A and B are shown apart, each in its own frame.
Chain A
Amino acid sequence: MSDMASHGRAGYLPGFLRRADPAVLTAFACIVVLLFLGSLYSRNFLSPEYLLQQLKVASFLGVIATGMMLVVLLGQIDLSVPWTITAGAMMACAAAAYGPVGTALAMPFGILCGVLIGLVNGIGVAYLRIPSMIITLATNAVVQGLMVVYTGGSSPQDTATPAMRYVATGSILPGVPNAVIVWALVGIAMVFLLTRTGFGRTIYGIGNRERAAYLSGINTRRVVLIAFAMCGGLAAFGGVLLAGYASKAAQSMGDAYLLPSIAAVVLGGTSILGGRGSYLGTVAGVILITLLQSILSVMQMPEAGRQIIYGIVIVAMLLLYGRTPASR
């Protein structure tokens, strides 16, 4: 094997390490700082039970943020996540009302609804070239409208299936919540997708320069479409998990996940302009956001303070490493 090749091999770290950048390290450093601060406040903070509980809470956001990361890597954004989550949860619970078949298909059905929403977004962005921010806001409104019509405006009576509850709250391995395992599986699949597959390469390529990707003979529009569909599916899956966790779906249960999912992705070092970012960073971002939320609630910080701190932390970290290059 030639010299060049062996050199190439040596540099061939796992993708998520190779792409590690200062932003990811910063995010992890912030996690350590938060854990330290938390432990000063309460000794329980570093106990395994508490940490596992945090990880369990984080896994819902983790699944949702995984999909968001995919579209952010393309340089797009999905603002329909809140009602995609809600729709996924409601539809899965609704399916449960249709006998044993419905119960069995509840989770896939919920996810399928999310995929459909994502497809609408994807068609709008990739084929109609509507700015993703606008079309996803619109689909969010439409889905909200559909759900309001479906539920009659109040929280639906359907409850989650036992399977949903088990996936969200049970633990197949002693001590390890299933939700965490689910997130780990989704995460591993995502890392594999991004680093080992041609699809992953094209995602990064399109995010960097769609023009160049198109001229390289990539069907960029199809890739964008699929990415949005996956984002929708994962958001809905997050909704299904949340419904399992709470035993039922609720109106606007997804609202609380829009900002955190974007923030987790961006704080993890994924460029909002696309083309750059690692899943490891998103993991860090999700844990960071979850710990931040947890500490604020342990400190009995009211919702108001949480919102303010959120916003400030996100703007501050973006100003540190998320700025667009100066045009002149």
Chain B
Amino acid sequence: MDDAVPLLRMEGISKRYGGVKALEKADLSVNAGSIHAILGENGAGKSTLIKILSGVVGPDEGRILLDGREVTFASPAAANQAGIVCVFQELSLVPELSVADNIVISDPPQRFGMIDHKAQRRIAEEALARAGAADIHPRALVKDLPLSRRQIVEIAKALARKPRILILDEATSALTAADVAKVFDVCKRLRSEGLALLYISHRMNEIRELADECTVFRNGHNVASYRAGTRSDDEVIEMMIGRQYSHVFPAKPDSGSASKSAPVLEARSLSWAGRLHDISLTLHPGEVVGLGGLDGQGQRELLLAFFGVLRGLGGQVLIDGKTVSIDSPAAARAAGIGMALIPEDRKTEGLMLPMTVRENLSFASLDRITKAGIVDRDQEQELIDDMVRLLAIKTAGLDIPVGALSGGNQQKVVIAKWLMRQPRIILLNDPTRGIDVGTKQEIYQLLRKLADTGAAILFYSTDYDELIGCCDRVLVLYDGAVRRELVGAEITEHALIASALNIEAEGQSAMQEVNA
């Protein structure tokens, strides 16, 4: 690292999305023949770094040096050309084509203008063998393979492009333990062949086993680099946290006061499609319960399950102590249940962007403001005025498209359209993602206010600060199951991260530290 020119250097990379800075003066240095792990919380800037390196987006400032020479990538193809190949989390395979077709898709071998199937077969078999998956038949259709095998094909496809730097972005998140072991073997062999591997993973044990170098990102900046094995997990977690509380949270009531009342919502061993396992929880009126954990551990599915979106749900859901079967959002919002869901993506699930603010606000309450099917405009206006006042929605008028509003105000409209129904149970799916700090704080105040008036709130957030600041209890999910329940003072960043990463021992010790 000190003597030779590193294979790859990224210097002073910054990137902003709108007003949000994703990366600020980030540096990274990667050597040939090594595995370099990148660690960081949700939103620490890892994915942006990878996107810049693989040519998907361009940096606002900073430079990339390959073998000491400055390079710029206009497209993923250009990055591939330079030997940088990324295995993305979201699959880039074509499901209806065969494994071999997919492996050679960007540049199929040709003879007389036709695709040379023999050569293609050879290339595919080679790549599959290098990826440690010689058992996958090149003629199998990708759509017939299970997710974990597809991920391996994705790696084989990357290898067929003869990379010098291979980026594995959460490449093991969908894999079974046996497949992970295979991928590890592949990674080690590639390292011995002189490749540089950038390995992004949330799984600490993987990083411990695999990485040579580690770089920790926080708030869009690399805060530390160290040789693998020289820091304890606890120290690594401290490096990942180390952040100022940037939000002001409303005061929480005495813990336990809410949970004395009877639960309004209860789940008993919920399971679904191999993505949710045996989840039990209770939700009481007046409390804010958080869902924590790494992104994609089943939090979204859990909220959708309650809201009647998922089919074939195992286990029981009880409302006011009575078993109910909710088979649609329409049933979930109905009078006896009174549930509301602030969905994940406000642009495609929460709002109809081209429609007006007015139409969006009253959309979930049409049944309440219509008489014989006809919209009672006075009543509609009244309810809308209430909501605009309650949430302080800033808009140039009610009859402009809601898409013209700022992100924060759009989110307020989504929340308002549900509050108009005065729900008893409010499910929120990461409601503050991508909105400004001011609006975030208003939302925190609002959540507490709603809880104080008796609503029960189940709140998934990818931002640990929010969970700590807002929640009376937090359930940390890992791999579709509740890993841990943190109550009151136990909710610390350290505890959240430790249990999110599924580190048993360190998590315990961390908690002891906090309690001490």
Let me know if chains A and B touch directly in the complex, using CB atoms closer than 8 Å: yes
Partner of A215, one of B329, B362, B385: B329
Report B-chain residues with C-beta under 8 Å of the C-beta of A324.
Answer: none
B374–A205 contact, CB under 8 A? no
Query: A248 within 8 Å of B by Cβ?
Result: no
* Given known A-B contacts A212-B348, A215-B341, A11 and B398 have beta carbons under 8 A apart: yes
> Which residue from chain A places its CB closest to the CB of B351 in the assembled complex?
A212
Q: Which residue of A9, A204, A208, A215 has the most chain B CB atoms within 10 A of its CB atom?
A: A215
> Which residue from chain B places its CB closest to the CB of A216 in the assembled complex?
B364
Q: Which of B109-154 contact A (CB under 8 A)?
A: none
A201–B385 contact, CB under 8 A? no
A215–B343 contact, CB under 8 A? yes
When chains A and B are docked, how far (Å) is the Cα of A201 from the Cα of B369? 12
Please choose the segment from A133-141, A176-184, A192-200 that sits at the chain B interface, where 4 or more of its residues have CB less than 8 A away: A192-200
Q: Which of B317-340 contact A (CB under 8 A)?
A: 328-330, 332-334
* Given known A-B contacts A197-B373, A198-B370, A198-B373, A8 and B381 have beta carbons under 8 A apart: yes
B374–A18 contact, CB under 8 A? no
* Given known A-B contacts A2-B389, A11-B397, A199 and B384 have beta carbons under 8 A apart: no
Report B-chain residues with C-beta under 8 Å of the C-beta of A219.
Answer: 328, 330
A198–B366 contact, CB under 8 A? yes
Chain A nearest CB from B240 CB (Å) reads 34
> Which residue from chain A places its CB closest to the CB of B373 in the assembled complex?
A197
B399–A18 contact, CB under 8 A? yes
A-B contact count (CB 8 A): 101
* Given known A-B contacts A2-B389, A196-B374, A217 and B330 have beta carbons under 8 A apart: yes
B366–A204 contact, CB under 8 A? no
Q: Bits for A200-225, please: 1 = Cβ < 8 Å to B, else 0.
A: 01101100110111111111000000
Query: A319 within 8 Å of B by Cβ?
Result: no
Partner of B333, one of A199, A217, A275, A276: A217
A4–B343 contact, CB under 8 A? no
Q: Which of B346-383 contact A (CB under 8 A)?
A: 348-355, 358-359, 362-364, 366-367, 369-370, 373-375, 377, 381
A201–B375 contact, CB under 8 A? yes
> Which residue from chain B places its CB closest to the CB of A5 in the assembled complex?
B385
When chains A and B are docked, how far (Å) is the Cα of A201 from the Cα of B375? 9
Chain A nearest CB from B425 CB (Å) reads 13
Report B-chain residues with C-beta under 8 Å of the C-beta of A199.
Answer: 373
> Which residue from chain A places its CB closest to the CB of B331 in the assembled complex?
A217
Do most interface residues of chain A lie in helix, strand or loop, or is the interface mixed? Answer: helix
A197–B384 contact, CB under 8 A? no
B398–A8 contact, CB under 8 A? yes
> Which residue from chain B places its CB closest to the CB of A4 in the assembled complex?
B388
Query: B448 within 8 Å of A by Cβ?
Result: no
Chain A nearest CB from B359 CB (Å) reads 6
* Given known A-B contacts A196-B375, A199-B373, A209-B348, A204 and B355 have beta carbons under 8 A apart: yes
* Given known A-B contacts A196-B374, A197-B374, A218 and B330 have beta carbons under 8 A apart: yes
When chains A and B are docked, how far (Å) is the Cα of A201 from the Cα of B380? 13
B350–A215 contact, CB under 8 A? yes
When chains A and B are docked, how far (Å) is the Cα of A204 from the Cα of B402? 14
B343–A205 contact, CB under 8 A? no
Chain A nearest CB from B319 CB (Å) reads 16
Q: Which of B221-262 contact A (CB under 8 A)?
A: none
B349–A212 contact, CB under 8 A? yes
Query: B218 within 8 Å of A by Cβ?
Result: no
Query: B417 within 8 Å of A by Cβ?
Result: yes
Q: Which of A156-203 contact B (CB under 8 A)?
A: 196-199, 201-202
Q: Which residue of A197, A199, A217, A275 has the most chain B CB atoms within 10 A of its CB atom?
A: A217
Report B-chain residues with C-beta under 8 Å of the C-beta of A11.
Answer: 397-399
Report B-chain residues with C-beta under 8 Å of the C-beta of A215.
Answer: 307, 309, 329, 341, 343, 349-350
Report B-chain residues with C-beta under 8 Å of the C-beta of A2.
Answer: 385, 389
Query: A43 within 8 Å of B by Cβ?
Result: no
Q: Bits for A4-27, please: 1 = Cβ < 8 Å to B, else 0.
A: 110111011000001000000000
> Which residue from chain A places its CB closest to the CB of B343 in the assembled complex?
A215
* Given known A-B contacts A196-B374, A208-B354, A209-B348, A8 and B417 have beta carbons under 8 A apart: no
Q: Bits for A274-307, please: 1 = Cβ < 8 Å to B, else 0.
A: 0110000000000000000000000000000000
B364–A217 contact, CB under 8 A? yes
A208–B375 contact, CB under 8 A? no
B384–A8 contact, CB under 8 A? yes
A7–B398 contact, CB under 8 A? yes
A208–B373 contact, CB under 8 A? no
Report A-chain residues with C-beta under 8 Å of the C-beta of B389.
Answer: 2, 4
B329–A8 contact, CB under 8 A? no
A205–B381 contact, CB under 8 A? no
> Which residue from chain A places its CB closest to the CB of B386 in the assembled complex?
A2
A212–B350 contact, CB under 8 A? yes
> Which residue from chain B places its CB closest to the CB of A271 in the assembled complex?
B354
Report A-chain residues with C-beta under 8 Å of the C-beta of B355.
Answer: 204-205, 208, 275
B352–A205 contact, CB under 8 A? yes
Chain A nearest CB from B7 CB (Å) reads 31
Q: Which residue of B352, B385, B388 has the most chain A CB atoms within 10 A of its CB atom?
A: B352
B367–A198 contact, CB under 8 A? yes
Chain A nearest CB from B265 CB (Å) reads 17
Chain B nearest CB from A269 CB (Å) reads 13
B329–A214 contact, CB under 8 A? yes
A213–B384 contact, CB under 8 A? no
B352–A213 contact, CB under 8 A? yes
Report B-chain residues with C-beta under 8 Å of the C-beta of A217.
Answer: 328-330, 332-334, 364
Chain B nearest CB from A275 CB (Å) reads 6
* Given known A-B contacts A2-B389, A4-B388, A202 and B366 have beta carbons under 8 A apart: yes
When chains A and B are docked, how far (Å) is the Cα of A92 from the Cα of B358? 43
Chain A nearest CB from B406 CB (Å) reads 17
Report B-chain residues with C-beta under 8 Å of the C-beta of A214.
Answer: 328-329
Report B-chain residues with C-beta under 8 Å of the C-beta of A8.
Answer: 358, 381, 384, 397-399
> Which residue from chain A places its CB closest to the CB of B346 in the assembled complex?
A212
When chains A and B are docked, how far (Å) is the Cα of A1 from the Cα of B348? 33
Q: Which of B255-292 contact A (CB under 8 A)?
A: none
When chains A and B are docked, how far (Å) is the Cα of A198 from the Cα of B377? 11
Report A-chain residues with C-beta under 8 Å of the C-beta of B343.
Answer: 212, 215
Q: Bits for B189-231, please: 1 = Cβ < 8 Å to A, else 0.
A: 0000000000000000000000000000000000000000000
* Given known A-B contacts A205-B363, A217-B364, A275-B354, A198 and B399 have beta carbons under 8 A apart: no
* A-B interface, 9 closest residue pairs, ranked by CB to CB distance from nearest: A208-B352, A198-B366, A217-B333, A11-B399, A8-B398, A198-B370, A216-B364, A217-B329, A217-B330
Q: A18-B399, A198-B366, A201-B359 are in contact. List 14 more A-B contacts (CB 8 A).
A: A1-B385, A4-B385, A5-B385, A8-B381, A196-B374, A197-B373, A198-B369, A198-B370, A202-B363, A208-B355, A216-B364, A217-B330, A218-B330, A275-B354
A-B contact pairs, 22 of them (CB 8 A): A2-B385, A2-B389, A4-B385, A5-B385, A7-B397, A7-B398, A8-B384, A18-B399, A197-B373, A197-B374, A198-B367, A198-B374, A202-B363, A205-B355, A208-B353, A208-B355, A209-B348, A209-B353, A213-B363, A215-B349, A216-B329, A216-B363
